Amino acid sequence: MTAPARTDAPLGTAGPARPASWQVQAEVQDFYARQMRLLDEGRAEEWAETFTEDGVFAQNVKPEPWRGRAEIAARMRVGLDRLAARPVTRRHWLGMLIVDEGEEPGTWRCRFYALVFEVPDGGDPRPHLSAPGEDLLVRGEDGRLRIRHRLVEHDGAV
Amino acid sequence: MTAPARTDAPLGTAGPARPASWQVQAEVQDFYARQMRLLDEGRAEEWAETFTEDGVFAQNVKPEPWRGRAEIAARMRVGLDRLAARPVTRRHWLGMLIVDEGEEPGTWRCRFYALVFEVPDGGDPRPHLSAPGEDLLVRGEDGRLRIRHRLVEHDGAV
Amino acid sequence: MTAPARTDAPLGTAGPARPASWQVQAEVQDFYARQMRLLDEGRAEEWAETFTEDGVFAQNVKPEPWRGRAEIAARMRVGLDRLAARPVTRRHWLGMLIVDEGEEPGTWRCRFYALVFEVPDGGDPRPHLSAPGEDLLVRGEDGRLRIRHRLVEHDGAV
């Protein structure tokens, strides 16, 4: 299945509110808490497993989206290795979550704010990045949620 | 219906814990995520729709509460227009949510922390405001939640 | 019952995902929102009531864990009194919550990120501390959740 061409769509347009069931909302919250933690623990490959095989990760600060789980894993591995060489800890917070039913059954449109804090060894935490995002989540045949398309827009990018 | 005179009541007194059902808790969380996003997208009028017609918005940094949806919309419009003239993005985070059953059926007392981050174009995010708040939410005849009374207390205000 | 010797276990190892029911997840979220607020309101003794009688509070920045509710209350009272003498407000945020079933029935392993913001009188908020944590929650005979073991690891501690 082709990933929808959402990269050009502006984030944040409210769109029709079709809130997912409360069970799905809780499941999505749990999904993100585990997903973000993988990133902060340097587990690029396990983190990439939370995307579909043909998943897309687009960012407004990158000229091209990352396409497919293999590319997503490889590129995140480079970023995390580079980060691991610095004496800092990063913490990804995701909040202000809105989970709407997607157009296809078994899909969800999830909008969120993300904040990344960086803590230098021996120093105080400081906000490193604010970035709203929007995911298209799908449920696989194994019952697990995965990201088919993610768009993250760094605030303040010029 | 007259808005309760809560403006003088100190925020933060724990009060009796009468947690709302988990369904209502999730609904309230969804309500706030959508509400705060409207603010960050500059939609003052849609944001004001989340108050009741006779809603009140009190803040410890304002001598008088804003009274009624029309005044709430007009005053927030002024604030958002002023903000839009500056090269920054604001993100409202709301968390640490406690939802208790209100004294009247179909009402809820919601307490939360809010944090506002500001991101200058080309710069890093910085915390702009910390402010706990307390809302009286009511369910309208159309089934939607709305704020009848909001009190927000800016931390550090002297 | 003896508190499990978890102090030496590294935080953050993903472990098997055994997500609690959505009802319990919501209950735990509510538990933490109330618990953290007690701390920010200076209520050390009520806060300590959220631990079991034999509860343990371990931190990577302390040579020894605090053992038992009485010690936890007394030590937090000292810390909060010292804080109250300074012209600042503190706000504890807890997020990115993962609630897994514990090994014993009626227990839960909860992992979270915590962020503490400090707001000086007349000043802007600033991040004071980032600290992931892991709790072992148990349900008492009175039906309430309590912490049997808490481990908090301050980021950046050297």
Q: What sign has the CA pseudo-torsion B5, B9, B11, B16? A: negative
Average pLDDT over residues A67-74: 98
Per-residue pLDDT at B15:
61
Q: Is the per-residue pLDDT at C70 higher than 80? A: yes
Residue C15's pLDDT is what? Answer: 61
Lookup result for tokens 């839960």: C108
Q: What is the rounded distance in angstroms from the CA atom of residue C90 to the CA atom of residue C83?
A: 9
8 Å CB contact of A46 and C127:
no
Which value does ipTM take for this structure? 0.91
Chain A interface includes B46 (CB < 8 A)? yes
Strand, coil or helix: what is B32? Answer: helix
> Can you tell me the distance from the alpha carbon of B91 to that of C102, in angstroms, rounded to the nearest whole number?
36
Cβ-based contacts of C113 with chain A (< 8 Å): 91, 93
What are the structure tokens assigned to A105, written together? 């059954």
CB–CB of B118/B129 below 8 Å? no
Residue C123 has pLDDT above 50, yes or no: yes
Q: What is the pLDDT of residues C15-64, one digit of tens each?
A: 678 999 999 999 999 999 999 999 999 999 999 999 999 999 999 999 99
Residue C78 has pLDDT above 80, yes or no: yes
What would the mean pLDDT of A19-40 be, rounded to a whole number?
97
Say whether C33 sits in a helix, a strand or coil: helix
B133-151 core/surface letters (b: 16 or more CB in 10 A; e: else): bbbbbbeeeeeebbbbbbb
Greatest Cα pair distance, chain C, in angstroms, is: 49
CATH topology of domain B30-152: Nuclear Transport Factor 2; Chain: A, (3.10.450)
Summarize pLDDT for B127-147 with one digit per residue, the tens. Answer: 999 999 999 999 999 999 999
**Token couple for C113:** 């990120």
Cβ-Cβ contacts under 8 Å for C69 (sequence gap 6 or more): C48, C49, C51, C52, C53, C54, C55
* Other beta carbons within 10 Å of B15: 12
Nearest by CB to residue C36, choosing from B26, B96, B155, is B96
Confidence of residue B17 (pLDDT cuts 50, 70, 90): confident
**How do residues A80-138 score in pLDDT, each as one tens digit?**
999 999 999 999 999 999 999 999 999 999 999 999 999 999 999 999 999 999 999 99
CB burial of A85-110 (b: ≥16 within 10 Å; e: otherwise) equals eeebbbbbbbbbbbbbbbeeeebbbb
Residue of B nearest to A157 (CA): B122
Question: Are the CB atoms for A155 and A130 separated by under 8 Å?
Answer: yes
DSSP-derived 3-state class of residue B106: coil
Q: Yes or no: say if B149 and B2 are a contact pair by the CB < 8 Å rule.
A: no
B8 contact A CB<8A: no
- Sorted by where each begins, the domain ranges of chain C are 22-152
Look at the domain A22-152 and name its fold.
Answer: Nuclear Transport Factor 2; Chain: A, (3.10.450)
pLDDT tens digits, B67-110: 999 999 999 999 999 999 999 999 999 999 999 999 999 999 99
Question: Model confidence at A8, in pLDDT bands (50, 70, 90)?
Answer: very low
